[in-house]
Structure 1
């Protein structure tokens, strides 16, 4: 496959912006993981990003991700993340398909993942709905501890994830990112768990998220572009 130089350049720019945001916040950029939001992207787009150096890819739907995994089975060191809502009846499939599930949002789902009993145990994040938006999934902040209690000793909870309400500027999202970090700190003390991961920040606001402590940013458009082209064939 020919290297997609435009995608490679966009990936390099995003990586540089991550480094600059970390430097501004006096943080080491090395542990900050770039998860490419590859939902709706064709497998050849993911392959091109892999050849450009990306290794972490985030999908919204379990079956779509499984199909892409099969098509890209020859790629080594690739890590698949579930960043979309997970239905309880697909917990077993997801538990065995993803390196990290970002969207645990109920005790029921945590228990379903625990019953799946993959080996090693599935790694997860608790999705928190900080804006109280009815249109979004995610647990209310005060309910996150119940999920931690249900998950203890059964699945690995590595931290928290959030998607802030739509805002006109990246700066307007800062209070939500700060609140997630503060909630994580309180829950870590309360539960005794490290909860070291904070998955927050997307194309329009990831630099602010990094300044507020993000350890993972989920970026699609800034790398894949509005359209993706392979060998002059253009795909939406």
Structure 2
């Protein structure tokens, strides 16, 4: 029952955050982050009505997905290596969240063309400018946007970020606002509307909703503490 109860609580908190900032109910989607958790735990969330799940590692996702009901929506939310692009696209993820460089975007475009698909992606932005973090810097994305937007075989839905940790959820608000402003700026330049903002995790998702997130990635609040030794 733990997973079902926690899932209900997270969904209620998302809806409350939507209401607080005047957003329509249901405008924010929950991506339940199932990385490191077994298929049995995911199945419990499915029984409680959750249908969208996020995995960090391609191999783990490929092992887990066949064990669960068809019709679920799977997102690859972790870094993707260029040599694994073909496997990721063939796996049929609904969205690749962490496209963090022009080289990776070009590789995805090329392989998607060979497979005859339009790859659904988000561009990851390093909103804090941390050298250890993946993602385009804000200036880099601005400078390379016209070239990225022209790449064929990509369905660029929007932006994604994982801000640096802060002492409180409020401390992350400027990073979320920054991502929203960058998205709005690029959408205004065209030619893509960029409707999606993937931001906010277990410790700060309510602030992310208030700052415009269209999807939040929540795992430990739903499934419990992770055992990385699994």
Alignment TM class, shorter chain as reference: over 0.9
CA distance in 2, matches of 1:104, 1:132: 16
Q: What is the correspondence of 1:55-204 to structure 2 with a 5 Å cutoff?
A: 55-72=51-68, 75-97=69-91, 98-117=93-112, 118-145=115-142, 146=144, 149-152=147-150, 153-204=152-203
Where 2:159 maps in the other structure, the secondary structure is: strand
Partner Cα distance (1:61, 1:151) in 2: 26
Q: Are the structure 2 counterparts of residues 99 and 172 from structure 1 closer, same or farther at C-alpha, using a change threshold of 3 Å?
A: same
Alignment CA distance shift 1:116-1:182 (3 Å): same
1:99-150 Cα deviation digits (max 9, x unpaired): 1000001111111111112444110000000111122111101122425623
Report deviation, 1:71. 2.0
How does the TM-score come out when normalised to structure 1? 0.90
Structure 2: gaps spanning 5 or more residues = none
Q: RMSD across aligned C-alpha pairs, in angstroms? A: 1.7
Compare 44-53 and 213-222 and name the one that shifted more: 44-53
What SS does structure 2 have at the residue aligned with 1:18? helix
- The answer to whether the 8 Å contact 1:198/1:215 transfers is yes
Contact persistence 2:202–2:219 (CA under 8 A): yes
Give the CA deviation at 1:43. Answer: 1.0
In structure 2, distance between residues paired with 1:28 and 1:160: 21
Unpaired segments ≥5 residues, structure 1: 229-234
Aligned residues: 224
Shift in Å, 1:70: 2.0
TM-score normalized with structure 2 length = 0.92
The residue number in structure 2 matching 1:232 is none
**Equivalence map 1:13-24=2 (5 Å):** 13-24=9-20
User: After TM superposition, what 4+ stretches of structure 1 lie above 3 angstroms from structure 2?
Assistant: none
